[in-house]
Structure 1
């Protein structure tokens, strides 16, 4: 125990002299968490609060086109601005750039005619199904009479949402027209406005509730997603200091000198693990404390700490141990400090990508979705997300901790084989 204590003190002193390593392990993750959370929170605000600007060129003089424009404005997703009528495709593109609009819609001159034609066809079919006579109307073109232009910067998911919303607005116009015609055909009088409102707006209210494994549900926000993810990234970045430390000791001959002393190099390995596990725990504590107390001050959503403190501690220790084990493993097999730093940084970024820190796992397809299981960051992230987002308990995250511990033990075994092969132990 005395030897281990003395070795830990030695490693702490070496660590305190490594100012660049401390900067990479603490300042860089703190800045990264603040910047990424701020950007993503702004993105959430854009999607949830701000509206996409849409430029509409209406070449139709009928009533349906005006109802369609009003319906788009009532959706709540768009900021409608009407442009000059009869714009060509090239002119619409120029107008969108001038107005800084993300979307453009050209309503053709026969929009109201086509809406009326389709509504009449539906009305006739409904009357015949009721056993009543309906006028025979020649079926017209069923193609969508609208042309929608969009800025290429819009992601496909947003574009599909926009397309669905505009399609709903068009459907609302056609449903209103069909309802008017059907009512008039049956009652021979116009549809009252009050009855129209009751029939068209008689929808059920939909409520959304985040799922929870226990206790009150936690409303997800940018902080709840980013702080756990980038905390894991920071913990694994101890490789920039620890991996280089292992390489330096190999190059300087410290391993050989240790063989002449009444101690074992395994004591030195254990010392490094204890020292840097303390560093990873301190990293997590600092970043979590920032999310809880600093973020509300700078205008970011507050981090809601999990109710199961024991589960949070266990997951943090398991994550830190895995990060330290990976760093020592890389340091054992690399020959120079540049190799350790270069390979370590690139491999951490790759593991973060595969593990879901940068792209959600559910959004991956094929091989990469299956490959997530080999990334220790995936299991760390799933455990943290269960605690922070689903209010889970320690028992609920054991299925994530066990694979993480298996990967850690495997890294430890590979490190042992590497040290044995190099005759360092």
Structure 2
């Protein structure tokens, strides 16, 4: 026991001297958590709270185009910008300059005659529908150009997902206007009078309500916020980045002859290996405490949602210990097989980034191409992330974690055996 305690003290002193390693294990992940969570939280706000600035270039100025303007305001997604200059813009250069002047992300160009063509199209469709019902006369002559295309201009900074959301909102507004026109024409043809306002509202707004719910194990239905996604993910990333410190420490001891001296002592180098794992497991748990504490208590003071810790703290501790052991095993294995510190640091850093990408930390797993998803199972970071997400997003308990914990334990055991084989082959134990 005295030898183990002495070895632990020695490894702690070596760790405290490794300033770069401490920065990579603590300062870097804290910075990543702050930056990435802020960006993602702002993205959530843009989608849910912020309005997209849209310049409305209305060359038509008639009833239907004005109705479209009102409909877009009612959608609530757009901050509609209409002024005299925007209505006179007629070419791409003018439209681009107007959008830049208003810092607008979207521009919608309504050509002259838009209202007439919408009305003509509604009359044609109504006439055809009434004839099919046997209550109409001759069908109005059909013009293939009854509807004209609308040009939508986007700022290059607007991502494809937002463009799709914008186009969906525009199509919805246009569909409401066309439906209103047709309903009024059909009502007039059948009743020879204008459709009452209340009837029109009932017909247009009598829609099925979608009740959105989040599925959680405890039935709470809480919607996870940005910290719930990011804090566990980047904590795992921080754990595995200990490869630069632990791996380099092993390589240094091999190069300076410490292994040979320790082999002559009772207990051999296995005591030293065990003490290193205990020290770095303490580091991993310290990373969890520090980063989670920042998420829970510092985030609210800098305008971010607070990290809500899971109710099952024992399960959180188990996941953290198992994830830490897996990260230690990876660093240990890499340190045993590396011959220089450059190999450990270079390959270790690159491999962790690749495993993080495959594991769903850099890019969500569901967003990956199908051909890449088969590789997620080989990434230990993926299973660590799944275990944390089961706690933070699905409000799971310890019993719910075993589908993710078993792969982590299997990978950890494999890496430990691989490291032991490497130590034996190099006559280090």
Give the TM-score normalised by the residue count of structure 1: 0.96
Q: Find the aligned partners of 1:152 and 1:352 in 2 and give their Cα distance.
A: 29
The worse-fitting range, judged by mean Cα deviation, of 387-396 and 289-298 is 289-298
The 5-angstrom pairing of residues 366-405 of structure 1 reads 366-405=370-409
Deviations 1:374-412 (A, max 9, x none): 111111111111100110111111111111111111111
Aligned residue for 2:50?
50
Deviations 1:50-88 (A, max 9, x none): 111111211114211111111111111111112123511
Residue 105 of structure 1 is aligned with which of 88, 104, 108?
Answer: 108
| 1:141 and 2:139 correspond | no
Q: Find the aligned partners of 1:416 and 1:371 in 2 and give their Cα distance.
A: 26
Aligned residue for 1:30?
30
Give the RMSD, CA atoms, in angstroms. 1.6
* Partners of 1:117 and 1:139 within 8 A in 2: no
The 5-angstrom pairing of residues 274-285 of structure 1 reads 274-285=278-289
| 1:125 and 2:125 correspond | no
* Partners of 2:26 and 2:287 within 8 A in 1: yes
Instruction: Give the 3-state SS of the residue equivalent to 2:31 in structure 1.
Output: helix
Q: Find the aligned partners of 1:92 and 1:301 in 2 and give their Cα distance.
A: 38
Aligned residue for 2:59?
59
| 1:332 and 2:374 correspond | no
* Partners of 1:114 and 1:140 within 8 A in 2: no
Aligned residue for 2:183?
179
Q: Find the aligned partners of 1:13 and 1:358 in 2 and give their Cα distance.
A: 33
Residue 92 of structure 1 is aligned with which of 68, 89, 95?
Answer: 95
Instruction: Give the 3-state SS of the residue equivalent to 1:296 in structure 2.
Output: helix
For residue 213 of structure 1, report the CA deviation from its aligned partner.
1.2
For residue 137 of structure 1, report the CA deviation from its aligned partner.
1.4
Instruction: Give the 3-state SS of the residue equivalent to 1:105 in structure 2.
Output: strand
| 1:251 and 2:250 correspond | no
Structure 1 unaligned regions, length at least 5: none
| 1:241 and 2:241 correspond | no
Deviations 1:192-231 (A, max 9, x none): 1222122212223322211101242332111111111111
* Partners of 2:326 and 2:408 within 8 A in 1: yes
Deviations 1:343-372 (A, max 9, x none): 211111111111111110000003321111
The worse-fitting range, judged by mean Cα deviation, of 327-336 and 81-90 is 81-90
Runs ≥4 in structure 1, deviation > 4 angstroms?
Answer: none
Deviations 1:254-312 (A, max 9, x none): 11111211222222111111110111011101111121122112221011111111211
Residue 323 of structure 2 is aligned with which of 314, 319, 324?
Answer: 319
* Partners of 2:117 and 2:148 within 8 A in 1: no
Aligned residue for 2:196?
192
Deviations 1:140-170 (A, max 9, x none): 2366521111122221111111111101111
Give the aligned length: 425
The worse-fitting range, judged by mean Cα deviation, of 222-231 and 102-111 is 102-111
Aligned residue for 1:406?
410
* Partners of 1:210 and 1:218 within 8 A in 2: yes
The alpha-carbon distance between structure 1 residues 132 and 276, as it changes in their structure 2 partners (threshold 3 A), is same
Q: Find the aligned partners of 2:144 and 2:234 in 1 and give their Cα distance.
A: 54
| 1:210 and 2:214 correspond | yes
Give the TM-score normalised by the residue count of structure 2: 0.95
Q: Find the aligned partners of 1:231 and 1:218 in 2 and give their Cα distance.
A: 22
For residue 118 of structure 1, report the CA deviation from its aligned partner.
2.1
Aligned residue for 2:75?
75
Residue 303 of structure 1 is aligned with which of 303, 307, 331?
Answer: 307
Q: Find the aligned partners of 1:131 and 1:141 in 2 and give their Cα distance.
A: 24
Deviations 1:9-33 (A, max 9, x none): 2211221222332222122222221
Q: Find the aligned partners of 1:389 and 1:258 in 2 and give their Cα distance.
A: 46
| 1:221 and 2:225 correspond | yes
For residue 94 of structure 1, report the CA deviation from its aligned partner.
2.4
Q: Find the aligned partners of 2:137 and 2:365 in 1 and give their Cα distance.
A: 54
* Partners of 2:128 and 2:139 within 8 A in 1: no
Instruction: Give the 3-state SS of the residue equivalent to 2:304 in structure 1.
Output: coil
For residue 415 of structure 1, report the CA deviation from its aligned partner.
1.1
Aligned residue for 1:354?
358
* Partners of 1:217 and 1:391 within 8 A in 2: no
Aligned residue for 1:4?
4
